[in-house]
Every structure is written in structure tokens, then in C-alpha cells.
Structure 1
Amino acid sequence: MNPAAVRCISECFVKPYLVSEESKQPYYLTTWDLAMLSVQYIQKGLLFAKPPHKDCEDQNLMKNLLDNLNKSLSLALVHFYPLAGRLVTRKEDNPPAYYVYVDCNNSPGAKLIHAAIDMTISDIVSPTYVPEIVQSFFDHDRAINHDGHNSPLLSVQVTELVDGVFVGLSMNHAIGDGTSFWHFFNTLSEIFQGKGDHLKISRPPVLKRWFPEGHGPLLSLPFTHQDEFITRFEAPQLLERMFHISAESVAKLKARANSEYNTTKISSFQSLSAFMWRAITKARCFPKDQVTSCRLATGNRSRLEPPLSPDYFGNSIQTVRAVTTAGELLEQNLGWAAWQLHQAVVNHTDKSVREFVDNWVRTHFIYQLAQFFDPQSVMMGSSPRFNKYGNEFGLGKALTLRSGYAHKFDGKVSSYPGREGGGSIDLEVCLPPHSMHALESNEEFMAAVSSPSIEA
């Protein structure tokens, strides 16, 4: 079947079922939130199989799904009310000040989209590389977080396939990180499975903002116009492929890394990240003196003293990295590379987090994707620890997970839990064609991975 265009059937805005007193107040952005204004929305979604109904029942299936999702979204937004708002900029002349925050009232709400495409599940998951059409399963294509002044901070797009349904969420990254994104996704699913008739949820978000001592709740930016800190990142030509690492393969990598460095402290994910760093660096055929790094997206909630709640809603994330040359990385063994990452993680303490925040207060830097990520490095994003396959919407367990256009660049690797669980991991790898083909020619790498299983 030839790829077809996604057709928008309907769209509407959804407001919180109840308006709380808290939601009538401005929702202020923290140092971590404001730093995200020039990067892209978070776009992640799940692919489900339709039940084996007759064609005449598909219409009722989608109507029930959308009606229940609408109700569930309205209830979820009571708890996550900032997602129903819009960004606002306020400027003052004397003294000069530039503020960006969330207005939770003057907004039509979050967006719910019903779309369709004449493609099958097989058209999406069978090709070696993720089809570009998948990017159309998400709202906010190529949007950056600053666009939340005029665009919804949250959109839910339900795309109907011939034999499946894709539920894709796009969330403004200045409002929350991956932990917050999946917290909301999990809550939406929880309410949906409870038939959307209650306001009690198992994990209420903690909306109290965290600011460094002596600062906040309203932080002024040293700008007079958005053009001073906003850029648009356009990714180079990339191939995107899903690889599966079984729990057994992950365990072998961990055992190998610890054995080679004569330690027991290297984690499974550090071992896997080092494995990917070395494999991708080898595929890139760099000269020996080329500097390369591996970044890990790392949460701050548990590292602060006192720690933030795991349910803190917002951004509380940074990256840590290990740096070396391509020659040293490939001449040393896996254990050596994994230990460099281990040390980077260990050194990410309350002290280093607060130093980062203090530096932001002095400089007010805004992340720019084109500058922050370079084609000599590897970035390990997302997390296999998030509950992704626990999200159900009356269609059983999802078959697989996919993401949108956002945050795709040379060397980006996103980690998801394997569908079978048990410590297995799926990796979404983005590389230019020549590097991807070289990676696929690496016998050691291909022996450790397989294609993800999508059996219903």
C-alpha cells in the first residue's frame, strides 16, 4: 500500500471538568522550564490493534473511544491544569523586565484531534526504517515550546488506521519533562479505564514549583524580544530504526562491562549506553583525534537534598556526559567506556544541580538544539523505566511505541521498555544513511540486537 496523507476528521478543545482556585492563578515557570523555550514539544505515542470487529463496527469503536477520551482528558486536566493553559509574555519598561509564564484561564484548553489514514499496522512496523508518515500522527510538527503562546500546550491526536489506532500525545516541553509527560499519559489511561467517572487518581501531580533559594516565583529574562533567544532547528536527512535488546543481552552487556573494569558498580543502562556510544562512533569512521561525547538525560528529582517528589510536575532534568576521543573510545574496552558514564552519573549530585541552576540565574541561557547537540556525539534520551505499555484505552496492550519529528538529530538514541518487559529495551536510533548502514554492518552490534516484537 502506498503511503497516504493523514486526514483530519475533527478537532476540538477540551477544558478541565472543574476549575480549581489554584488554576485561576498564574503558573510560573522555573529555571529548568524557561531553559526549554526554544526546543521542541515532546511527541510520543502508542500503536494499538483494532479488535477483530466487522467494518460496520469501526465507526462505533472510534466514536466510543473519542467520547471516552474526551471525558477522560477533561478529568485529567483538573489535576494537570497547566496543560490546559497558554504561555503568556509580559514586558515591563521600568525597570526592564521580560516574563514568560502560563495563563491557565485565558485559553480554549487542550486539543483533541481525530484523524485517519489508509494504511495498516504492517505499513508502519514492517519497514526496516520508521516511515516518515509517522510524524504526521502528532500535532505540533516542528513546533517549539515558545509557540505555546498561540498553540495548545497539550494535544492528543487519535489516528485511525485500517486495522489499528495510534494515540499520540504532544506536550510542551517547557511545562514538563519526560517524567511528567508519562505521568500525565498514565493518569489519562487510568481515568479512561475507570470509565472517566471519577476525580480520584492514584498519583496526583505535585504542582508546587521549585526555585533556587532567593529566586522566583516570577523569573525575569534579560531579553526584549523573542528573536533574541528563539531559533528553529531543522534536522538533517536521517534514517530512524528501532532495535530491540533482550533482557538477556542487557544482562550480558552489564556483566561484560563490570568484568572488564573489575567492578560491580556499572549499571545496565550505563553498559548499554557505552555499547551504543562505541558502536555509533565506529560507524561514523572518525579520525582518532576526533573528540566525541555521550550524553545521558538525567533526572534531578532524587538528587536534590531534600529530594523532590517523584510526582513533581515540571522539568527537573539535565544531561551528564563523558568526553574522550574516538581513538581512545574504540581502543579501550566496553568497561572503560561504561565507567566514564558511571562517573558522570555519580558526580551529578545536589551540589552540581544547584551549581547548574545558579549558573542559569546568572546567564539565563536558553537551550538551542543546533548548538547543544553535535554530530560527533551520542545522546541517550527518554527512559526504559517509564511506564509506557501500561497505557490502555479499551484496545488492549499497545503493539509498539513511536515518536514524532521532535528532537531527532544525528546520534539521538531514545530508550523505551521492551513490550515483553522483564528488563528488555527498545532503542530508537537516528543516524544519517551512511552511518546507519555502517552500524548495520557491525557484526558485534547486530548480534546483540533484534527487531522489536509487535505480536498482538
Structure 2
Amino acid sequence: MKVKKESSRVVKPIYEGTPPPSTSSYIPLSVFDKVTYDNHMAVIYAYRPPTPPNAALEVGLRKALAVYREWAGRLGKDDDGEPAVILLNDKGVRFVEASVDSTLNSVMPFKPSTSLLALHPSLKGVEELLQVQLTRFTCGSMVVGFTANHLVADGQATSNFLVAWGQACRGLEIDPIPFHDRNIFSPRDPPRFEFQHKGAEFMSNKIKKGYPSVDNIIMDDIVVHKVHFSSEFLTKLKAKAGTKKGTNKSYSTFESLVAHLWRAVTKATSLGGLETTTVRISVNGRSRLNPRVPMEYFGNLVLWAFPSAKAKDLIREPLSYAAKLIHDAVLKVNNNYFKSFIDFANYKAEEEALITTADANKSAMFPNLEVDSWLRFPFYDVDFGGGCPYIFMPSYLPTEGTMFLLPSFFGDGSIDAFIPLFQENLASFKQIHRRNDNIIRKSMMFLDAEKIEWCYQLCSVLLALYSA
């Protein structure tokens, strides 16, 4: 797929009436912004014709930027050279127009590969906080490549903006309006450090995480494997995970699937039995803080759960063992945990010169994993005027162990997982996954047979009673 860049320019917000001052306004980064990944993330949208013209998307973008001014600004740094504020200077965002001399069908379905990198602007050395690339195909289809600086907003906030951009393109009022106040996370007086945040969100500057071997990894050592989990498979997987101890409630689809993937990847990497493996799971704080923060909050409001286990226990124990570890760890990231983090980040982190554990430059997580769930974000609601996207997916991100989960475009409850693995572990992972799939199917067939036999016996009894 050869992508031809037609134009590249900076576009700025369009305001109704008198524009706000753009010389002295700024928004300080919150403790949640500063603890997240300092890099650009990219997503890909594919749309079938008819699609609106580029000019309409540009005007809609400029209108949306007037409501989400942060994206059109720039990062300001503190005396140590670290990002500290978002300057609301309206310097604008990057807008690129491109074309491909072929049809979309000839390159679909998009698979995780380096070819995706040509469908959005570069992620390196970017001054703009947001970038857009519109790529047109000869069939009339359009791909929107979108990149955004993670320090400005998390997945929830970014997806809200994308929906707003679509509304503006269709001539609609932006609804809901974003909640911009990042000064709501004040530490308590006196502060209370109720949880261990050193080793979770923060670490000593002297500690280098990871195995020595990961420093020498090149892109070719890692392959991003895409797996489609049907709704039928996910239902059976939940049944296999069972119910939470002491309740009649099943583990969630997310808990069951992450438990399944954690075990499969651990087996595929042949991790030593006594070694510990940990999963880093994003937890949205909007509904967990008390009082609740609106879902329209624009910024970062995510911390992480860290379920961990010895490799031998993870592999030897049933799926329910891993599901319980995940459930319990996520449950602990509650209101008290978020407030303890706010206190720690404001007092202890700077005092002890700690750095964040969210390292955007790591090429491998081994022996650990990270799971980014986009299952609840309204990415498929992004309609620029020609309907919802045909496909939505992350760009090519070959960071071993960093998995993305997102709803499939089939819209039937199925899930697509993007799983970066070491090339040498791919064949083993595929084999393990196929074997687990067969085990689940056979076990559920047995259960179905039991149900059929039970129903047959019940009907026989009822028929006998009726005849008598």
C-alpha cells in the first residue's frame, strides 16, 4: 500500500463571536496526567462511501477545537524540563491529506503491520498535541488516522472528543460539553498514604525495570498478533471461569478474557515456574471517586491494578484462579486508593524524586503484560456525516506484552485482541490458544449434553404425572 501525502498544514479553532485570549491562558497538568505515558497514541478509522469531503471534516475539526481548546495548544515545561501545563495558545493541530491509488478492499482487512504507520502522521518529535490524516481510496472510501498526546487526555476523554468532532461535522451542537477543570484533585490535609504507590505508579530513579535483554530488542523481533473472539467463545469462556466465591455472579467477560490471555501468553513464553508475572490493567477513576467525576471530564483519570502470580500457579490452577486475581486487584483500585494516590503524588513523589513506572520507551513488558481495554469507549459512534466506521483499530504498536482489547466491528459482542509477542513465541501461543478453544468447546458440549438429558428426564416425569 503506497500512500501519497497530498498536503500538510496546521488548522486552528473557529470561534463563534470573540475568541478567548490565547497568550496567557494555561491549564496545569494534574497528577493523573503526569503519571501516564508521555507519548502519542494513534488509531485508525475506515469508512465506506459515501464520505463527506475533506473540507467538511476540517471545518468540523476546527469547531470541535473551539470546545476542546487543549488539543490546539502546546505543552509548557517546568524548570526541570518536564511537562507541567497545557498552554491554551490556539497554535493548532496538524491536518494531512493523502491518497492511495487502489481500493480499500484490496488492502482490507487491515492487519497489524508497519503499513498502518503510513495512514497517520508520525508519532515522533511532534509539537502538535493532535494530528489528523485523511487518506482517500479510489473506491471512495476514507481512512482517518488520528494521533493524540496521552498527557492531554485518556481513552475516555479522547473518544468523547472524536464523537464531538463527528457531531460538529454534521452541523449538530456538541453534546455533552466537556468538563475541563483539572484542579479538582486536591490532596487531603493532612495527607494519608493508605496504599503502597512506590512500585505501582512510581519508582526510584535508580531502578531500571525489566530484563536486561529487552534493551536490545528491534521491531522485527516482535509481531502483533490479532485474535478474534466470537461472542459464542466468550460466553463459554465466562462459563468456564465460573462464579465469584460466595456469590452467584459470574466473572465479567473482561476478567475471563484477560485471565485466559494471561495464562496463554505465560505458557507460550515458557516462563520459569517460580518467576512472578504481573498484568497492568487500566482502571477509570471517574465512577470510582467519591464524589463521582463526570464521564465528560477531559483529561487523564486512570490508575492501574496489578494482579500478579507465580507462573507455575497461573498455569496449574484453573481459569477461575486468574480471574479472581484480576477481579480482586481491580476492586482494590477504589475511592480510597485514588485519594491515597493524590496525596502521595503531591507530597511523597517529589520529595523522594520518584519517576513514573509508565515508560513509553520500553519495547517489551516481559515477564509482565499490560492490558488496555477500549471495550466501553464510544469509538464506533464517530460519524462524520456518512455513517459509523467500518473498522476501528489501534495503529501498529510493537511493544511486547501490551495488549489492546476492543469491540469487533461485527457489533455482535465479539472482541478483537491485538497481542504483541516475541516472534519466537507466536507459534506456541497459537497452538495453546487453539488447544484451549477445543477444551472449552468440548467441556461445554458435555454440559449441553447433561442439560439435554436432564430436560429429557424432567419431561418424562411430567408426562407420566399428566397421564396418571
How would you bin the TM-score normalised by the shorter chain?
0.7 to 0.9
1:74 to 55, 62, 67: 62
**In structure 1, distance between residues paired with 2:377 and 2:325:** 25
Shift of 1:115: 1.4
Instruction: Give 1:102 deviation, angstroms.
Output: 1.3
Give 1:235 deviation, angstroms: 6.3
Which of the residues 223, 233, 239 maps onto 1:255?
Answer: 239
Contact 2:130-2:149 within 8 A present in 1 as well: yes
Q: Are 1:108 and 2:105 counterparts?
A: no
CA contact (8 A) 1:301 1:307 kept: yes
Aligned residue runs from structure 1 range 344-355, under 5 A: 344-355=329-340
Mark the CA change 1:337 to 1:351 in structure 2 (over 3 Å): closer, same or farther.
same
The 1-side partners of 2:330 and 2:8 are apart by: 43
The alignment's C-alpha RMSD in Å is: 3.0
Q: Report sequence identity in percent.
A: 24
- 2:228 is matched with which residue? 244
The equivalent of 2:429 in structure 1 is 439
Using the alignment, how far apart are the partners of 2:381 and 2:76 within structure 1?
34
Per-residue CA distance 1:182-215 (angstroms, 9 max, x = gap): 0111111122223xxx5x2121100011322379
Report the AA paired with residue 122 of structure 2. H
Tell me the equivalent position of 2:200.
none
Choose which of 108, 128, 131 in structure 2 pairs with 1:155.
131
DSSP-derived class of the 2:57 partner: helix
CA distance in 2 between counterparts of 1:174 and 1:385 reads 21
State the match for 2:193 in structure 1. none
Asked which structure has the greater CA Rg, the reply is 2
Equivalent in 310, 320, 324 of residue 295 of structure 2: 310
Output one character per residue of 1:291-321: Cα deviation in whole Å (capped at 9) or x when no partner. Answer: 1112211111111111111110000001112
Q: 1:426 to 1:278 in 2, by over 3 A?
A: same
Aligned to 1:333: 318
Counterpart for residue 384 of structure 1 = 375
Alpha-carbon shift at residue 111 of structure 1 (Å): 1.6
1:165 equivalent in structure 2: 142
Contact (CA 8 Å) 2:44, 2:393: kept in 1 or not? Answer: yes
Query: After alignment, is 16-25 or 200-209 more displaced?
Result: 16-25
State yes or no: 1:182 paired with 2:164. Answer: no
Structure 2: state its 5+ residue gaps: 190-204, 207-214, 442-468
Letter of the 1:281 partner, please give it. T
Query: Is 2:178 the counterpart of 1:205?
Result: yes
Give the letter aligned to residue 38 of structure 2.
Answer: V
Q: Distance in 2 between matches of 1:334 and 1:247?
A: 18
Which residue pairs with 2:349 in the alignment?
363
Partner of 1:125: 108
How far, CA to CA, are the matches of 2:53 and 2:427 in structure 1? 40
CA distance in 2, matches of 1:292, 1:319: 15
| Mapped partners of 1:281, 1:368: distance in 2 | 22
**1: CA distance, partners of 2:21 / 2:253:** 41
The equivalent residue for 2:445 is: none
Query: Taking structure 1 as reference, are residues 423 and 331 closer, same or farther at Cα in structure 2, changes over 3 Å only?
Result: same
TM-score (norm 1): 0.81
Alignment length (residue pairs): 404
For residues 276 and 14 of structure 2, the distance between their equivalents in structure 1, rounded to whole angstroms, comes to 53
TM-score by length of 2: 0.79
Residue in structure 2 matched with residue 425 of structure 1 by the alignment: 415
Task: Measure, in 1, the Cα distance between the counterparts of 2:82 and 2:392.
Answer: 39
Runs of 4+ in 1 over 6 A off after TM superposition: 96-99
> Relative to structure 1, is the Cα distance of residues 376 and 435 closer, same or farther in structure 2, using a 3 angstrom cutoff?
same
Relative to structure 1, the CA distance from residue 277 to residue 119 in structure 2 (aligned partners, 3 Å threshold; closer, same or farther) is farther
Change (3 A) 1:262 1:422: farther
